[in-house]
Amino acid sequence: MENNTRKMKKQSGFTLVEIAIVMVIIGLLLGAVLKGQEMITNARAKNIENEYNGIVAAIYSYQDRYRALPGDDDKADRFTDIATCTDLCGNSDGTIDGNFDSEGDTDESRLFWLHLRNAGLITGATDSLDQPINTLTGIIGVSTELTAAGISGTFVAFTKIPQNIALIIEARLDDGQSASGRIRGLNSDGSADAADYADANELYQLIFAL
């Protein structure tokens, strides 16, 4: 009876060594999860950067080929799917008019996407004027209309950018401040400066100057 009691005492509970091993394993698992999340976040930031670079390359290719800005091109009826310039060509004044997120089909900021698609420089239906969806489910827009970000000239805008992505892009490509540099940040409605992306719950607009 006494021997059985001793065996039961020996078998109950965990030793400090066993607890330490478990804690190490948990720590390794947590580290792997956090590292995985960091890699995913960095990959999403890189995707936004690649999308921006792709749009810039398309703009320069269009200008080189047709001597005009997409959207502003007054001879876009050269394309088979733009039979007439009525409402589907720009005015060739060197700017892309209309808000970057415009829904007006006669705005050059919408014609921009129609012209690029017809030129085969971006994917999408050649009768579509819709702004493309970025990797974070916001839109990509292009315009030269002045914005609350204080940028003049042509810019590329991305919406629905989470705080962590905005901070990575700013740190990697610009000065880390939302109100200065070639990348500016706005709140989700575009009405105010992003205050250096201080709000973790906000989805920001990122404005890239060309």
Q: Sketch out the chain's domains with CATH numbers.
A: 43-209 (3.30.1690)
The Cα 149–Cα 123 span in angstroms is 29
**CA-to-CA distance for 187 and 99, rounded, in angstroms?**
16
Nearby residues of 128 by Cβ (< 8 Å), 6 or more positions away:
113, 114, 117
Report DSSP letters for 130-143, one per residue.
Answer: PPPB-TTSSBEEEE
Neighbours of 11 (CB within 10 A): 7
In tens digits, what is the pLDDT along the chain, a chain of 210 residues?
555 555 555 556 678 777 777 777 787 777 766 666 778 899 999 999 999 999 999 999 999 999 999 999 999 999 999 999 999 999 999 999 999 999 999 999 999 999 999 999 999 999 999 999 999 999 999 999 877 778 889 999 999 999 999 999 999 999 999 999 999 999 999 989 999 999 999 999 999 999
Q: Distance from CA of residue 147 to its chain's centroid?
A: 18
Q: How far apart are CA 197 and CA 187, in angstroms?
A: 9
Where do runs of H (alpha helix) occur along 78-120?
108-118
Owner of token pair 């190490």: 24
> Which pLDDT value is given to residue 9?
53
